[in-house]
Amino acid sequence: MRFANTRILITAAASGIGAAAARRFASEGATVVMSDIDNDRLVACAEAMKSLPGRITTHAADVSDERQIQDLVAHAATTLGGLDVLVNNAGLGCHGRVTELSTDDWRRVLGISLDSVFYATRAAMPHLITSHGCIVNTASISGLAGDYGFAAYAAAKGGVVNLTRTLALDHARDGVRVNAVCPGLVATQLTRKFFDNARIARAYEDAIPMGRAAQPEEIASVIAFLASSDASYVTGVNLAADGGLMAATGQPNFTRLM
């Protein structure tokens, strides 16, 4: 029950990593507001967690809409009586080099993956300063290095990574910690197309030192650690949870080739 009496807001919580994080927090006693753009799925997801010890409510919002995010944060702070943890989990990619991306694609990816972090953080910060709370952002290893053909996603996640560091500096003396988890490949709806393609699945298996994708629960446990008092001296960190992928230089696997 690490999160008993802890008030948590999670975005993009109706699926994948966000849903797993909500489940983890509620399993450990938290009071959670789950948010997502897909209200039906959000409500169904929360319903499936109602036997957990924590208390869960839902509030639908599109994270790329500043006004909706302001309303969401105000709603969470009012109904929970404050806010201790903000998990900025929303994000999505769009395949394409800059020569192939439309301006709309670019804006959509940046809006959902990066602007959302700015909007929610700005709205939540006064509450987090009051509670000496923390933020956990879901960034990506695509924010730590480049990825072929994912220009918008890499730019957005690189922005989340460096915003995480800067927020940590700016608010350390306010008693607010800010960290990010940087997942590698995680088996969620977002990446289903990779698992459905045998060649891509095989290429991932070869590239990931641990030889497999993460389950969403394995990322949720890192989010829970960063949000917990176990991480009381950790701020400004972008923690890779990637089966060892970022430990490699990208050079060929000589052990396998020679």
Q: Which of 47, 11, 55, 57 is nearest to 30 (CA)?
A: 55
Site string for ligand NAD, 54-73 (x = CB under 6 A): --------xxx---------
Count of CB atoms situated within 10 Å of the CB of 36: 28
| HEC readout, 200-248 | HHHHHHHHCCCCCCECHHHHHHHHHHHHCHHHCCCCCCEEEECCCHHHC
Which residue, 1 or 47, is less far from ligand NAD as judged by CB?
47
- Indicate which single residue of 32, 34, 37, 76 sits in contact with ligand NAD (rule: CB under 6 A): 37
To ligand NAD, the closest distance from the beta carbon of 170 in angstroms equals 22
Site string for ligand NAD, 198-237 (x = CB under 6 A): ----------------------------------------
Interaction of residue 12 with ligand NAD, rule CB under 6 A = yes
Interaction of residue 186 with ligand NAD, rule CB under 6 A = yes
Which among 85-93, 120-128, 200-208, 227-235 is the span making contact with ligand NAD, rule CB under 6 A?
Answer: 85-93
Which residue, 58 or 140, is less far from ligand NAD as judged by CB?
140
- Indicate which single residue of 6, 7, 9, 18 sits in contact with ligand NAD (rule: CB under 6 A): 18
Alpha helices in the chain (DSSP H): 16-27, 39-47, 66-80, 103-110, 116-131, 151-171, 192-196, 198-207, 216-227, 254-257
Which residue, 17 or 26, is less far from ligand NAD as judged by CB?
17
Write out the two tokens for 106. Answer: 């670019």
- For β-strands 85-88 and 134-138, DSSP reports them as parallel
In the Cβ-directed half-sphere of 109, how many Cα atoms lie within 13 Å? Answer: 21
**What letter would DSSP give residue 99?**
T
CB-CB contact of 188 with 216 (8 Å): yes
Q: Considering 119, 153, 204, 233, which one is annotated as catalytic?
A: 153
- Indicate which single residue of 79, 166, 189, 229 sits in contact with ligand NAD (rule: CB under 6 A): 189
> What are the residues facing 134 on neighbouring strands?
85, 177
153 catalytically annotated: yes
Interaction of residue 40 with ligand NAD, rule CB under 6 A = no
Expressed in angstroms, the distance from the first to the final Cα of the chain is 50
CB-CB contact of 109 with 94 (8 Å): yes
Which among 97-105, 123-131, 188-196, 204-212 is the span making contact with ligand NAD, rule CB under 6 A?
Answer: 188-196
Which residue, 59 or 177, is less far from ligand NAD as judged by CB?
59
**Contacts for 141 with CB less than 8 Å, ≥ 6 apart:** 182, 183, 184, 240, 242, 245, 246
To ligand NAD, the closest distance from the beta carbon of 139 in angstroms equals 7
Interaction of residue 130 with ligand NAD, rule CB under 6 A = no
Residues forming contacts to ligand NAD in the complex (CB under 6 A) are 11-12, 14-18, 36-38, 62-64, 89-92, 112, 138, 140, 183, 185-186, 188-191
Q: Which residues are catalytic?
A: 153
